Structure 1
Amino acid sequence: MKEPVKVFVVGEYSVHLYEETGFNLNDPAAFGYGYIYINDTGYRPASLIGIQVFTNGIVIASCIVGSDGGATGIHNHSAIISQNELMLCCSDTVFKLIIPDLSLQWKTIADSVTCFGIYPHKDGYIVHGELEITYLNTYGQIVWQVGGRDIWTTIEGAADDFKIFDKYIIARDWGHNKYKIDFNGNITDYNENNI
């Protein structure tokens, strides 16, 4: 049996996430996923993530999600659970699935390339993307997006490259330029790196 990369416990349910880059989209029965949620652009998705919901050790729902853009993996900030909802970054898209049946509530392309992470914030979600930082409302609609001079990470991938505070976000781009962004999507301070 394949080991999940990440497991969430939601009441009586256990939600397992799997990286499925080798999944054959022409034979979904081979992996036993009940639903397939793919952005159909005619290209093979860059990333595929399998999801299974268990109760009492039995799979009661399953799906696979996939999208174009840059490849992503499963890590600490790629998915969040809120009550009975799973929000998941997969390539350029954020998917919102209902637990336990894994029905798709919405999917939104939240970055031009790839979504690094998703964070709950007030009545929505902050998405740390490669080219944009995006605020989504609970319906998956883009409220605002902001870009920088370069991609929203540094070569070191340091923990302080992207941090959310009570009243603002601090983000660094590839050139180590530092941005302070308010929760209306405005850059309120900018410090250029002078290396």
Structure 2
Amino acid sequence: MKPQYVIQTTADGSHTIYLPQLDEHYHSIKGAITESCHIYRDCALRHRAQQGFDRPLRLLEVGFGTGLNAAVSAEYSDIPIHYISFELYPLSPDISQRLGYDRPLIEAVNHAAWDTPVNITDTFILEKRQADFLTADLPCDIDIVYYDAFAPEKQPDLWRMETLRRTVEAMASGGVLTTYCAKGSIRRMLSALGLYVERLPGPPGGKREILRATKIAK
């Protein structure tokens, strides 16, 4: 059966996709753009970049989705970024275009070819991989992880200890992972994997807390 994609307006005026078959949204109904900018760009990318680098940052995203996280990250031009995103079921560019995100690079990231690195800007390389994150070979020396899978109740395999372990093993020392999911079980698993886990305030008008986990430098 062909998936149904229902476009809905979120609290900040931007749009998200609702999947009736999963009873799940691609972005928070409290504000799609607000969520992407706060949880991923600001609490992960900006935070990590401010620690100083003399090389491009390597960023791993779990779930390319609408391309919004990639687009707002590509706007951050303070440091070169190699952005690697896994998505098993890509949206067609026309569906993403119907969302009408007012971001300068949204069309570029959504129309970029799959399974090959693409220069979106002089400082941003996007590599979209159409593959199952659970079984794919993961890149190494990752500085930032955007863990933006659907909720644990909807995609439990992506939130199991072994999956999180593979993700952490792909991270460089000092790497950070952010996610909207602040469940106690997820906090405890990340902590058990040796990460320093912080509960941070969620995006304005949205979730009360989010997680940022740092791989302790050895």
TM-score band (shorter)? Answer: under 0.3
Instruction: With the length of structure 2 as denominator, give the TM-score of the two structures.
Output: 0.23
Instruction: From the two aligned structures, give the one with the greater helix fraction.
Output: 2
Instruction: With the length of structure 1 as denominator, give the TM-score of the two structures.
Output: 0.24
Instruction: From the two aligned structures, give the one with the greater strand fraction.
Output: 1
